[in-house]
Structure 1
Amino acid sequence: MKFSEWEPLYEEICSDFGISPASDMASVRILKAVTLNSDLCDEDAFKDKIGETVSVIGDSPFLEKDLEHGVEGCIICSGSAVLRLLRAGLKPDIVVTDLDGNINAQLEASSDGAVTLILAHGDNMDLVREYAPLFTGPVVLTTQAAPENTVFNYGGFTDGDRCVCLAREFGARHILLYGFDFDHPNQKEGSDPVRKLKKLSWAKRIIYSDGGNDIEDRSNHA
């Protein structure tokens, strides 16, 4: 998704959630500062991995059951689902993360060659400071605000829908969803369930923004 397409949605999301674009940009500055010694890359590091069919991995309660049906093509995994994917004996090709979830699993995937797209936003500055410098594999810096020379924005609000936006941007025509449930999310300790459902409503809107003809949802919802 081009930023010109994403920007109106971003402005609406900022209004809906009380997000400060200035805080998002401040987090980006931190991300750039702490990754000076990282293996920083651009889209050349991953675009050839994304073919016509991709599997996008979310973190819904029934992910393990979903994965029993098998995945196809490039595996693009949300950060919070990496541990469960690894435990299922699968490795992500690309990880899209705002550094939530089990960080050790994400670091393991990175050291094993996964390309990690790290998102900086106003609510994860501390996580960016602590964890972003630890990734040893290829890293792509991303933002939900305006992109710049070394910081990219392919669209999306949550890790899951950003995975889908990434796949679309680089030519995927058949996007398989595993571990997606927009109504019954995994609840994390300390999280606001109402806010979580609101975020998932936005994720669904973004994923199906073009009618969803390229989406095949292989997720179990019960």
Structure 2
Amino acid sequence: MTIVGWESKYQDILKDFGYSRKKDTQSCKLLDSLLPKKTPIVKIRNLIENKPVFVIGAGPSLPSCISILKKYKKITKIVADGATKAMIENNLKPDIVVTDLDGDIKSLKKAGRTNTVMIVHAHGDNAEKIHLVKDFKNCI
């Protein structure tokens, strides 16, 4: 599969972040080898299709939003890895965590042991953390 214009965007990303294409490829292959061959895509679809969702990042307003998030327990919460710690500390369960494994590892592991779907992406500077996906119950 080729996405029109992706190669030039990818080259820009490599340059901007100082990533190595070779290391990116190695990390991707390592992640692929550790992930289950059957992915919980249906679970994600059931969580988000035709439903309202909250997308939660670790921005400066997150602490002031915790009380609001607690009022909406039944709305799907898609959480960036940097916000996972705040969610866990406040007894808010992420439904989906999107991570490159650069967030708080203890919180990511805690979320990963539940039914939370962990969407992990590999890149050239996280290869040493890729093994953590083995601890996640539902991982893509």
TM-score normalised by length of structure 2:
0.81
- The corresponding residue for 2:43 is 45
- The corresponding residue for 1:23 is 23
Inter-partner Cα distance in structure 2 for 1:32 and 1:74: 27
Aligned with residue 118 of structure 2, among 116, 119, 126:
116
After the TM superposition, which residues 148-167 of structure 1 pair with which residues of structure 2 at under 5 Å, given as runs?
none
Deviations 1:129-187 (A, max 9, x none): 3x22221x1110xxxxxxxxxxxxxxxxxxxxxxxxxxxxxxxxxxxxxxxxxxxxxxx
Q: Could you list the runs of 5+ residues in structure 1 that have no partner in the other structure? A: 141-222
Shift of 1:67: 2.3
Contact 2:133 2:139 in 1 (8 A): no
SS of residue in 2 equivalent to 1:69 = helix
Say whether 1:133 aligns with 2:131: no
Contact 2:81 2:98 in 1 (8 A): yes
Inter-partner Cα distance in structure 2 for 1:104 and 1:116: 14
- The corresponding residue for 1:99 is 101
Inter-partner Cα distance in structure 2 for 1:22 and 1:39: 24
> Whose helix proportion is higher, 1 or 2?
2
Q: For residue 43 of structure 2, what is the amino acid of its counterpart?
A: A
Inter-partner Cα distance in structure 1 for 2:90 and 2:12: 37
Inter-partner Cα distance in structure 2 for 1:125 and 1:4: 25
Q: How much identity, in percent, do the aligned residues show? A: 30
Aligned with residue 75 of structure 1, among 67, 74, 77:
77
Inter-partner Cα distance in structure 1 for 2:55 and 2:138: 19
Shift of 1:10: 2.4
Contact 1:97 1:116 in 2 (8 A): yes
Q: Go from structure 1 to structure 2 and tell me whether the alpha carbon gap of 1:86 and 1:30 turns closer, same or farther (over 3 Å shift).
A: same
Q: Could you list the runs of 5+ residues in structure 2 that have no partner in the other structure? A: none
Q: Go from structure 1 to structure 2 and tell me whether the alpha carbon gap of 1:117 and 1:6 turns closer, same or farther (over 3 Å shift).
A: farther
Inter-partner Cα distance in structure 1 for 2:81 and 2:37: 18
Of residues 118-127 and 57-66 in structure 1, the stretch that sits farther from structure 2 once superposed is 57-66
Contact 1:19 1:122 in 2 (8 A): yes
Inter-partner Cα distance in structure 2 for 1:3 and 1:74: 31
- The corresponding residue for 1:62 is 61
Q: What is the aligned length?
A: 135
Inter-partner Cα distance in structure 2 for 1:14 and 1:69: 38
Contact 1:94 1:115 in 2 (8 A): yes
Shift of 1:42: 4.7
Contact 2:113 2:135 in 1 (8 A): no
Contact 2:40 2:138 in 1 (8 A): no
